[in-house]
Structure 1
Amino acid sequence: MAAPGEALTPSGYIDHHLANLSLARISEHYDLGWQISETSFWNVHIDSLFFSLFTGLIFLVIFRSIAKKATVGVPGKLQCFVEIVVEFVDQNVKETFHGRNPLIAPLALTIFCWILLMNIMDLVPIDFMPYSAQHLLGIPYLKVVPSADVNITMALALGVFALMIFYSIKVKGFMGFVKELTLHPFNTPIMIPFNLLIEVVSLLAKPLSLGMRLFGNMFAGEVVFILCAAMLPWWLQWMGSLPWAIFHILVILIQAFVFMMLTIVYLSMAHEDADH
């Protein structure tokens, strides 16, 4: 599937599928005259935002529905699945988080389920939704995997980072947080510049690695699906896509789990007081 007027070549096919539906591309495609570049602050990836909100809404609707209809008798299959997920997340929080905060378990559950649903969008056949959007709605570009967009993954990571800073200051106090950055690992005034350099770099590396790890794995998986579709005839595409999709299910689960676990670990570290 290629954009209107574009030759159906492998390189054109790949470029098309790697392009987000952004304000800049809408302006260019429909010749609206908006002066927005791809690197502009005002450029927005509309498809990534839409499918992020869409998957988040699915999570909220399913869990709210199960919570309202939950029974103490013989539960349905969906209720059993939801209970397994909740118990799994709750157990990991109890084993990893050493502070007291009623927000951590719901936050971990939300992160795990939301990222898992965003990742699952990578299993949708690569041409199904973009082809439908182009021919039914006239939408020229469409990427349906929000976690394959670095803007989404880094936004999630920065949200976790903001909570880390907030709880570090709340638990330790502002001066306690400053002392943690300046007097660790070497508790002597002469080493403050060295300590500050190490701790600030370590602190900033947490959200960077958190967001880039998820993005890198999901983007790589999406590229493999695109290459299978671009390089093979339609009647042979399943030979490349099906084995990769089966393996990719493991990647999808692991990446949601890793993001959740690192969030719990980072917030646990933020709740450690000076005595610890």
Structure 2
Amino acid sequence: MSGESQTSIEYIQHHLTFLTSGEGFWSFNLDSLFFTVLTGLVFSGIFYSVGKKMTTGVPGKLQCVVEMLVEWIDGVVKENFSGKRTLVAPLALTIFVWVFLMNLIDLVPVDYLPQFAHMLGVNHLRAVPSADMNITFSLAIGVFFLIIFYTLKSKGVSGFVKEYTMHPFNHPAFIPVNLLLETVTLISKPISLALRLFGNMYAGELIFILIAVMYSANIAVAALGLPLQLAWAIFHILVIVLQAFVFMMLTVVYLGIAYNKAEH
């Protein structure tokens, strides 16, 4: 544990406290923003490097991984999105890899990065951006505006209005009911995206912290910490990949539904 004088509750609270600047609505979690940008730069750097060094001969291992990933996600988009994939396929690839890298930070032992930050004079540090509701909602809000964009693009303004006023009940008398139902359905999409990713990653982070608390207990309890940490880390790898896939998949499905030109 970082800081032997800390109680278990203080230790948990310390690890769940963001490095924040500002107050109220205009406060910013600097640690979440830093690691979000950092993982984005890592993602961009890897793919740029592979693209620049790409060869038609015998590809390297990294190029093989990138090509397999691109082909797989392009196939997923092709099956779920009927329009042109020039924007949606790169978007899906970006979401999957970016969210995966953000989630992957959760496998770093909980004390390593905060202790390193403490050496630099930073008192609080939470390193998993996807365990911050602000980050997951910012991603989901971007998807929300794309849903609106593709609905307008495929159906026009009049079709967009009919989408939310004449369904599911195709009668002018039910316009208020239809508007309420469709608005709730529309808003629930980004909310479910954000909360699903946040909830799973926050729970995973909290379990790692609780396991770390065991190391400060007696020898018998502390001895259980390492096997529990390894077991949870192995299981959490599946969670990390699954949550990145689910966020990407639901984004493609929601955009596919928005772009669908067929009438209900």
Class of the TM-score when normalised by the shorter of the 2 chains:
over 0.9
Match of 1:46 in 2: 30
Aligned counterparts of 2:10 and 2:253: Cα–Cα separation in 1: 43
Task: Say if 1:51 and 1:145, in contact at 8 Å, map to a contact too.
Answer: yes
What does 1:234-245 correspond to in 2, within 5 Å?
236-245=224-233
Match of 1:216 in 2: 199
Match of 1:194 in 2: 177
Amino acid at match of 1:250: L
Match of 1:100 in 2: 84
What does 1:31-180 correspond to in 2, within 5 Å?
36=23, 40-135=24-119, 137-180=120-163
Task: Say if 2:78 and 2:85, in contact at 8 Å, map to a contact too.
Answer: no
Which of the numbers 253, 258, 263 marks the counterpart of 1:270? 258
Structure with the bigger percentage of helix: 2
Offset, 1:235: 5.7
Greater mean deviation of Cα atoms: 155-164 or 185-194: 185-194
Offset, 1:171: 1.9
Match of 1:10 in 2: 8
Task: Say if 1:2 and 1:16, in contact at 8 Å, map to a contact too.
Answer: no
Aligned counterparts of 1:148 and 1:235: Cα–Cα separation in 2: 28
Amino acid at match of 2:162: K
Amino acid at match of 1:239: P
Match of 1:31 in 2: none
When residues 51 and 126 of structure 1 are mapped into structure 2, their CA distance, relative to the original with a 3 A threshold, is: same
Amino acid at match of 1:240: L
Amino acid at match of 2:16: L
SS at match of 1:152: helix
Offset, 1:186: 1.1
Match of 2:237 in 1: 249
Deviations 1:235-264 (A, max 9, x none): 653122110000000000000000001110
Task: Say if 2:144 and 2:190, in contact at 8 Å, map to a contact too.
Answer: yes
Offset, 1:23: 1.3
Aligned counterparts of 2:192 and 2:160: Cα–Cα separation in 1: 22
**CA RMSD between the two structures:** 1.5
Match of 2:219 in 1: none
Offset, 1:214: 0.2
Amino acid at match of 2:229: S
Task: Say if 1:2 and 1:12, in contact at 8 Å, map to a contact too.
Answer: no
SS at match of 1:41: helix
Deviations 1:184-205 (A, max 9, x none): 1111111111111110000000
Offset, 1:97: 0.9
TM-score by length of 1: 0.90
Aligned counterparts of 2:11 and 2:2: Cα–Cα separation in 1: 6
Amino acid at match of 1:243: A
Offset, 1:7: 3.2
Aligned counterparts of 1:88 and 1:251: Cα–Cα separation in 2: 19
TM-score by length of 2: 0.94
Greater mean deviation of Cα atoms: 181-190 or 200-209: 181-190
Offset, 1:231: 2.5
Offset, 1:273: 2.0
Aligned counterparts of 1:42 and 1:186: Cα–Cα separation in 2: 42
Task: Say if 2:150 and 2:255, in contact at 8 Å, map to a contact too.
Answer: yes
Q: When the two structures are aligned, how many residues end up with a matched partner?
A: 259
When residues 80 and 101 of structure 1 are mapped into structure 2, their CA distance, relative to the original with a 3 A threshold, is: closer
Task: Say if 2:2 and 2:111, in contact at 8 Å, map to a contact too.
Answer: no
Task: Say if 1:154 and 1:208, in contact at 8 Å, map to a contact too.
Answer: yes
Amino acid at match of 1:9: T
Offset, 1:100: 2.1
Structure 1: give runs of 5+ residues left out of the alignment. 25-35
Percentage of matched positions with identical amino acids: 58
Task: Say if 1:157 and 1:211, in contact at 8 Å, map to a contact too.
Answer: yes
Task: Say if 1:10 and 1:231, in contact at 8 Å, map to a contact too.
Answer: no
Aligned counterparts of 1:149 and 1:171: Cα–Cα separation in 2: 34
